Amino acid sequence: MGIFRKFFEKLKYTFKRTELNDDFYDELEALLVSSDMGVETALDIMDELKIVCKKKLIKDIEHAQIELKNILIEKLQATPIEFTYPMIITVVGVNGVGKTTTIAKMTKYFSKLKKSVLLAAGDTFRAAATEQLTDWADRLKTKIVKQGEGADSAAVVFDAIASMKAKNYDVLIVDTAGRLHTKTNLMKELEKINNIINREYPEAKKLNLIVLDASIGQNSIAQVKAFKDSVNIDGIVLTKLDGTAKGGVVYPIINDLNVPIVFTGFGEGVDDLDTFDAERFVDKILM
Amino acid sequence: MALFSSLSERLNHIFSKLTKHGKLTELEIKEAMREIRVALLEADVNYSVVKDFVAKVSALAVGEEILKSLTPTQQVIKIVRDNLIELMGGDNQKLNVSPKPPTIIMMCGLQGSGKTTMAGKLALKLKKEGKKPLLVACDIYRPAAIEQLKVLGKSIQVDVFERGTQNPVKTTKEAIAYAEKFSLDTVIIDTAGRLQIDEKLMQELKEIKKTINPTEILLVIDAMIGQEAVAVSTAFNDALDVTGVILTKIDGDTRGGAALSIRSVIGKPIKFVGVGEKLTDIEPFYPDRMASRILGMGDVLTLIDKAQEAVDEKTAREMERKFRENSFDLNDYIEQVNSLKKMGGLKSVLSMMPGLGGKLKQIEEQIDEKALERNKAIIQSMTAKERANPDIINGSRRQRIAKGAGVSVSDVNQLIKQFNQSKEMMKMMKNPKAHGGKMAMIRKLMGQ
């Protein structure tokens, strides 16, 4: 509750009282909207809070904050994901959200679970993307399947699956080219990669994870929708939570699209990845 | 091309509601402002910026001025638009050039904002303008960042200066000595992406600044950034007193509220925008055009620019004459299809047209860019005589043309019908001269 209290301390200080008046709701709206959850979600949450407070006859900030936190946590619930092996994770997302770094972190994560990990350098589009992933693979002592820049990414994935089957890897993580979700030809490429995986290794557990940058605003919703239109999206990796960005945009994504957050990233080191913790996430929003 | 389209759709919706009434009441203005507020927030404009903006615009709109005016809706639009322009900052501003070469441009920003690619784009742009740029790789933290810049540099044949993972402050110093030695007049420094709260790395930027005293310090920001825009730009500006901002990735469908937030908070101009993945995809930022687009008034100015690039003056004048005399034939039609293609296709042109705003989506669904290509093939299968005088195209000619173009006769029929309709429409249009050549050109292009 430590960090969480700050906002309400501030409120009390600002208004020198503890009632749930219009000033309180104005401040609350500012706080919620500033997390990037969107004005509609913010209004929904405030309405819910008002109803709960009325029902439970809550009139003071102290009790309202507990209810608010409950609402915020509850709204983050979505069907969770289970890891079963062998598993192929395809990592997608727009340019610059931190896909490659996230892959390095996930490699470390599964290694710690004593799973063998193979990487596929499927971003054959961006200059030096393969080098960047190779660099990580070297540091993590992980095998990587790659071809040159401009190669067919589906072919890289094909090779990687063959290698995975031959050597019994538990996890294959496929990097893909960052693309603005409005570029249809690159989205087609993603469909092709998915088809290859389905065809070549139907028994494996398949996960498509979308990497979202916490500092990006409402456009993240459009990103998930667009990727969802071409391939199935099973979960979110929310990156860059080490900054001051709150990443509240996941609220409309979880509520409207039922895509759960699987991992959160909070730094550039390989260990800076965690499974999603709703309470901690909410604490940051209310900071 | 759908830049800011969602916001403009929303505002169009608001104003279309307003126009249904004769005169505006205070209540209606309040209603409009509430929707403007929501629209701006959903466009990721910062909460406090929106609050100030709406308060300001409301105060202006609710006053006598608007209630007494003849067209209240136009007044509201004008006030909102003018204030949006003001918020995004007056005229377009160019890059500063140092009186004593080299001009030093330092790029900074968060991770993933697109600094390295933008450094490459700037280098190519400056090279095309006759400058001799040098790219300096100072991102010593991200794996393969230096490699990425080297690949970019090679593809545009611009030198890349790098000293591996050596201290960036030292590297920049050496790079400038290198530029002086080889008479390279512009040095573009790509720094590592960093969080604005990373004190150690922010300190590094301050030291680079102190050591080399850059002519331009450009903050590169992802146009999709959310409420963070304010915190990020404020922190970088406080640390470095940046000279300008570059917004990247506006080729997606972001509503780009960041443009409004950043300028209004740090007061520094947005100098360029990144509009695609290719290294030529860089454009100046024009607040007035952007504001017009937000309001669904279309981006007439950009359209005119593009039209001028695609159609040379002589051809344009010739077209205008034909248009006026209604002697427009199928040869001209092909010319127009080609021009449209050069301007980025019909959809792209439409997205810049005023007054379409909300209807654009509907229209877009009906447009088949391939149909234009098919029509081109049909016309190319005609003889010169047929093209100049489509009236002579009879049944057997139609069959021959269809065969030649690999389409059905009904496709040919449809094209001729369309062409005749276009000619009819043109006849009905008023004297194009009255609005000058430019408007005529646009009208003619839309006559298809």
pLDDT 10s digits, A254-263: 999 999 999 9
Token representation of residue B406: 């690999």
CA dist., res. B270 & res. B251, Å (int): 16
Taking residues B12-37, what's their average pLDDT?
A: 68
pLDDT tens figures, B341-355:
666 666 666 655 544
Is 70 exceeded by the pLDDT of residue A187?
yes
Looking at the complex, report in whole angstroms how far the Cα of residue B169 sits from the nearest Cα belonging to chain A. Answer: 22
DSSP for B214-247, written as a single string: -SEEEEEEETTB-THHHHHHHHHHHHH--SEEEE
Give residue B73's pLDDT.
Answer: 58
The verdict on whether omega for the bond into residue B432 sits within 30 degrees of 0, i.e. cis, is no
Whether A118 is covered by a domain: the verdict is yes
Amino acid found at A113: L
Give A164 or B385, the one with higher predicted confidence: A164
Residue A117 shares a structural domain with residue A237: yes
Q: Which residues pair with A175 in a beta bridge?
A: A91, A121
Task: Please say which residue of A26, A44, A74 terminates a domain.
Answer: A74
Give residue A110's pLDDT.
Answer: 97
Give residue B446's pLDDT.
Answer: 47
Residue of A nearest to B43 (CA): A218
Give residue B11's pLDDT.
Answer: 56
CA dist., res. B166 & res. B175, Å (int): 12
Residue of B nearest to A127 (CA): B148
Interface test mutation site (partner B, options A39, A43, A131, A219, max chain B beta carbons within 10 A): A219
Residue A59 shares a structural domain with residue A107: no
Give residue B310's pLDDT.
Answer: 58
CB within 8 Å: A95 and B249: yes
Looking at the complex, report in whole angstroms how far the Cα of residue B367 sits from the nearest Cα belonging to chain A. Answer: 17
Is 80 exceeded by the pLDDT of residue B203?
yes
Give residue B243's pLDDT.
Answer: 96
Interface test mutation site (partner A, options B139, B227, B230, max chain A beta carbons within 10 A): B227
- Helix, strand, or coil (residue B400): helix
Comparing CA positions, the residue from B378, B396, B395 lying closest to residue B387 is B378
Average pLDDT in chain B: 79
CA dist., res. B394 & res. A75, Å (int): 68
Taking residues B286-290, what's their average pLDDT?
A: 74
Cβ-Cβ pairs closer than 8 A, A with B, add up to 133
Whether A172 is covered by a domain: the verdict is yes
Residue A59 shares a structural domain with residue A115: no
Taking residues A204-231, what's their average pLDDT?
A: 94
Is 50 exceeded by the pLDDT of residue B432?
no
CB within 8 Å: A217 and B226: yes
Give residue A210's pLDDT.
Answer: 97
Q: Is A115 on the interface with B (CB under 8 A)?
A: no
- Which of A 155-174 lie inside 8 A of B, CB atoms? none
The secondary element (H helix, E strand) that includes residue A118 is strand A117-122
Of B112, B141, B226, the CB nearest to A36: B226
**Which chain A positions have a beta carbon within 8 Å of B42's beta carbon?**
38-40, 218
Whether A287 is covered by a domain: the verdict is no
Is 60 exceeded by the pLDDT of residue B440?
no
Q: What band does A141 get if pLDDT is binned at 50, 70 and 90?
A: very high
Is 50 exceeded by the pLDDT of residue B417?
yes
Beta B270-274 vs B282-284: how paired, if at all? antiparallel
Residue A263 shares a structural domain with residue A127: yes
Give residue A287's pLDDT.
Answer: 81
Residue of B nearest to A99 (CA): B112
Of A96, A149, A183, the CB nearest to B114: A96
Looking at the complex, report in whole angstroms how far the Cα of residue B49 sits from the nearest Cα belonging to chain A. Answer: 11
CB within 8 Å: A244 and B231: yes
Specify the CATH number for the domain of residue A188. 3.40.50.300
Task: Please say which residue of A30, A48, A74 terminates a domain.
Answer: A74
**Which chain B positions have a beta carbon within 8 Å of A213's beta carbon?**
112, 222
Whether A189 is covered by a domain: the verdict is yes
Half-sphere exposure of B119 (CA within 13 A, CB side): 36
Average pLDDT in chain A: 90
Interface test mutation site (partner A, options B37, B111, B139, max chain A beta carbons within 10 A): B111
Task: Please say which residue of A74, A99, A122 terminates a domain.
Answer: A74
For A121, which DSSP code? E
Looking at the complex, report in whole angstroms how far the Cα of residue A148 sits from the nearest Cα belonging to chain B. Answer: 13
Of B114, B143, B155, the CB nearest to A135: B143
pLDDT tens figures, B301-313:
455 445 555 556 5
Residue A54 shares a structural domain with residue A162: no
CA dist., res. B133 & res. B120, Å (int): 10
Which residues span the domain enclosing A42? Answer: 2-74
Comparing CA positions, the residue from A113, A89, A115 lying closest to residue A170 is A115
Give B406 or B238, the one with higher predicted confidence: B238
CA dist., res. B4 & res. A219, Å (int): 11
Whether A196 is covered by a domain: the verdict is yes
For residue B343, what are the contacts with CB-CB under 8 A and spacing of at least 6?
A: B303, B306, B307, B309, B310, B349, B445
Please say whether the beta carbons of A214 and A240 come within 8 A.
yes
Token representation of residue B202: 């922010």
Residue A29 shares a structural domain with residue A168: no
Give B155 or A24, the one with higher predicted confidence: B155
Backbone phi, then psi, for A134, in 5-degree steps?
Answer: -60, -40
CB within 8 Å: B224 and A98: no
Comparing CA positions, the residue from A239, A213, A125, A100 lying closest to residue A177 is A125
Q: What band does B292 get if pLDDT is binned at 50, 70 and 90?
A: low
Give residue A203's pLDDT.
Answer: 96
Taking residues B7-31, what's their average pLDDT?
A: 62
Cβ neighbours around A188 below 10 Å, total: 11
**Which chain A positions have a beta carbon within 8 Å of B225's beta carbon?**
215-217
Give residue B67's pLDDT.
Answer: 45
Is 90 exceeded by the pLDDT of residue B205?
yes
The answer, yes or no, to whether ipTM is higher than 0.90 is no
Q: Domains (ranges, CATH) in chain B?
A: 5-88 (1.20.120.140), 103-292 (3.40.50.300), 300-446 (1.10.260.30)
Give residue B242's pLDDT.
Answer: 97
Provide the CA B336 distance to its chain's centre, in angstroms: 22
CA dist., res. B168 & res. B94, Å (int): 27
CB within 8 Å: A244 and B196: yes
Give A30 or B434, the one with higher predicted confidence: A30
Residue A187 shares a structural domain with residue A215: yes
Give residue A158's pLDDT.
Answer: 97
Residue A245 shares a structural domain with residue A192: yes
Whether A246 is covered by a domain: the verdict is yes
Is 60 exceeded by the pLDDT of residue A5?
no
Give residue B172's pLDDT.
Answer: 97
Whether A285 is covered by a domain: the verdict is no
Residue A111 shares a structural domain with residue A136: yes
Residue of A nearest to B4 (CA): A219
pLDDT tens figures, B216-253:
999 999 999 999 999 999 999 999 999 999 999 887 66
Residue A113 shares a structural domain with residue A70: no
The pLDDT > 70 percentage for chain B reads 67
Give residue B378's pLDDT.
Answer: 87
CA dist., res. B94 & res. B173, Å (int): 26
For B344, which DSSP code? T
Q: Is A79 on the interface with B (CB under 8 A)?
A: no
Give residue A115's pLDDT.
Answer: 97
Q: Is A136 on the interface with B (CB under 8 A)?
A: yes
Whether A156 is covered by a domain: the verdict is yes
Specify the CATH number for the domain of residue A9. 1.20.120.140
Taking residues B207-214, what's their average pLDDT?
A: 96
Residue A66 shares a structural domain with residue A133: no
Taking residues A205-224, what's their average pLDDT?
A: 95
CB within 8 Å: A222 and B253: yes
CB within 8 Å: A34 and B227: yes
CB within 8 Å: A243 and B197: yes
Residue A66 shares a structural domain with residue A91: no
Of A128, A217, A246, the CB nearest to B224: A217
The pLDDT > 90 percentage for chain B reads 39
pLDDT tens figures, A77-129:
888 899 999 999 999 999 889 999 999 999 999 999 999 999 999 998 887 88
Is 90 exceeded by the pLDDT of residue B57?
no
Please say whether the beta carbons of B136 and B187 come within 8 A.
yes
User: For the ranges A195-204, B22-31, B51-60, B181-190, which has the lowest average pLDDT?
Assistant: B22-31
Is 80 exceeded by the pLDDT of residue B27?
no
Is 80 exceeded by the pLDDT of residue A194?
yes
For residue B247, what are the contacts with CB-CB under 8 A and spacing of at least 6?
A: B221, B222, B223, B256, B258, B259, B270, B272, B273, B274, B285
Q: How many domains does chain A have?
A: 2
Is 60 exceeded by the pLDDT of residue B169?
yes
